[in-house]
Amino acid sequence: MRIAVLISGGVDSAVVVDTLFRQGHDLHLFYIRIGMDNGEGDCSAEEDIEMCSLIARKYGLPLKVVSLHEEYWNHVMAYTLRTVKEGLTPHPDMMCNKLIKFGFFEQRWGKDFDKTATGHYASIVEKDGKYFLATAADPVKDQTDFLAQISYDQLSHIMFPLGELPKAEVRSRAAEAKLPNASRKDSQGICFLGKIDYSDFIERHLGTKEGPVIEIETGKKIGTHKGYWFYTIGQRKGLGLSGGPWYVVKKNVRDNVIYVSNGFDTRRQYGREIPVEEMHWITESPFRDGSTCERIAFKTRHSPEFYDGTISIKKDGSCTVTSDSDIQGIAPGQFAIIYSPDRRLCLGSGMISVPATSRRHKKISTAHSKEALNDNGKI
């Protein structure tokens, strides 16, 4: 099989190369270069490209460095900054997968190959003649929540060779194959943000604006902050308040006010009703035979833990996820990732919306790049 392999310089994609090479496939390696590499940039790719070159030489494979810098900044980072400015919490990694890796790359280069392989920890299963995105064997490393906005067409052209491997096995295979990056640490930052601190990035683009921090129970000002866009619902760290823990429980975007509540057990940081808009189903909707409510498992952030609950659909297409248990830090702008009740299939995702009683901002569309993608997930 002729396969395009997206490599990053990390150990995961290198093990993908080793695995597929041993299976005898015709591999062509691609590194997507994204960032402002002009000395003032948000990402320096030189070290990654050097590592990718070592992998390519080890296996005698072609490596092509492709630039999607303009596309990334016009779509993913523009979405991120726009969402943050509206007081919401963005998910740039999810949009990078949807729009860049499996969007622009596929349209320009990946389409010429039988499949595109990546080092994501996820699986694909076939059921009743259809492909479904499925969770990885390693629950801690599972990345289906980062892939829950891809289209069915995109899913049908992807391979995830690490889906059935625990991370420890991947490291072991890398060492056995004597890969040059076998001991390289995993990247922990936002996709393609590199070593730039997220708060520094936000400050450089949106600046600062001092505002009050208010204890929500008393209405008392207990501190100041440097701009509501630096904070997200449920946030604890970085508040600079004594006598904690303090949690962000509400934001007033219009007046630049952050509301906090004190204590590990404060009920202000919990909820069970999650409004979801622009619900996206990868393969098919779980609503069958006219049903309007179904049992599901779900996540609201990257974590090995699932929650159980139901999802109901309204006539306007919006949905409500109702959790069986309390959820901490429900942050509008983030995504509710919907799974089958057995936690095996990732069915899709939708953006968590601001409750109608709290809305004071313009709607931010999760399809912020509808100008970039058509209904089939193609550019």
* Domain range summary for the chain, segments of one domain joined by +: 2-176, 207-265, 271-358
Look at phi and psi of residue 194 and say left if phi exceeds 0, alpha if psi is from -120 to 50, else beta: left
CATH number attached to the domain at 207-265: 2.30.30.280
Tell me which H or E stretch contains 249. Answer: strand 246-252
What's the one-letter identity of residue 184? R
Query: Count of CB atoms within 10 A of residue 368's CB?
Result: 18
Asked if 109 and 66 touch (Cβ cutoff 8 Å), the reply is yes
**For residue 191, what pLDDT is reported?**
54
pLDDT of residue 41: 43
DSSP 8-state symbol, 88: -
d(CA 115, CA 111): 8
The model scores a pTM over 0.75: yes
Pick the CATH number of 271-358 from 1.10.10.10, 2.40.110.10, 3.30.70.1280, 2.40.30.10: 2.40.30.10
What Rg value do the Cα atoms of the chain yield, rounded?
21
Contacts of 123-130 with CB under 8 Å at 24 or more apart are 123/160, 123/163, 123/164, 124/155, 124/158, 124/159, 124/160, 124/163, 125/344, 125/345, 130/283, 130/284
* pLDDT for position 369: 46
Query: What integer pLDDT is reported at residue 270 of this predicted model?
Result: 86
Name which CATH class applies to 2-176: alpha beta
Low-confidence ranges of the chain (pLDDT < 50): 37-42, 192, 360-362, 364, 367-379
Res 360: pLDDT: 47
Q: List the catalytic residues.
A: 96, 191
